[in-house]
Amino acid sequence: MQKRLAVIVAVVTITCLMGWVGGQKEAAAAEINILPYYVAGSVGDSWTYSFIYIDPAYPSTPDFTVNLTQVTSGDLAGKYRIGDFVDIIDSPHIRWSFVDWDASGINIYATESAVYSPPLKIAAMQPLGVMFDPLPDLDEHTHVFQRLGSLTVLAGTFDDVLVDITLTKLFGPSDANAEFGLDPVAFPYQVTHVVWYAAGFGEIQNRDYEPSEGGPMLFEYQLQATSVVPVPAPLVMLGSGLLGLLVVRRRFPH
């Protein structure tokens, strides 16, 4: 039986969360520990996703499965590979990353588009309800975290969901901003990508918007099935949702 790899991390600290819990907006909080959301599963686990919407300009795309493996040799021995995610917009179309983590955060050693030496570091503690740059000066994007009480996708209903909203600084707010309750004065940039993560399960939904005037939705996929058996906090595992925050999206407006 596959030995479960676990690490003890700090208990999630949340004060007066800002999000969409039960459809009700809440007061702003200082920080949230993202590890229970981004770090889930064990070596050998898999996540299968289905596209539920694709813009007619792009071909239909079948279901795809993401696997978690551990490197056994070479320079990245001991690190973890998560992939392959299908991206119908960007090139290359397959996304993956090599990572490890500790209680302070996640280290990114390589993705399909770059090798990082020293590795990039995503801190475990991140702000809720405000704009922040997890990788400052790396690109033209910024992020906002919100929280949901639950979300229903193809695989079922998941409680305790973290929403990672990416905004591009190249354009002003669109209809998507209003959908996520982002005030155009406090959040003057356009929503271009959104990923939903369930605590203990990782990525459960992913949506992309065109970075242009109007910003129409280009695709959405949802978790259809997974082999993950969630571990109660404060034990968490290496997760499936890393690329939503970690991969630098090099798509530019048409």
Q: For 72-126, what is each residue's pLDDT tens digit?
A: 999 999 999 999 999 998 765 899 999 999 999 999 999 998 999 999 999 999 9
CB of 129 closer than 8 Å to CB of 144: yes
Question: How confident is residue 3, by pLDDT bands cut at 50, 70 and 90?
Answer: very low
- 105-111 and 94-102 as β-strands: parallel, antiparallel, unpaired? antiparallel
Q: For 18-75, what is each residue's pLDDT tens digit?
A: 223 333 333 444 789 999 999 889 999 999 999 999 999 998 999 999 999 999 999 9
**74: CB partners within 8 A, 6+ apart:** none
CB of 193 closer than 8 Å to CB of 249: yes
Rounded mean pLDDT of 124-149? 87
Q: For 204-241, what is each residue's pLDDT tens digit?
A: 999 999 998 888 999 999 999 999 987 654 444 333 34
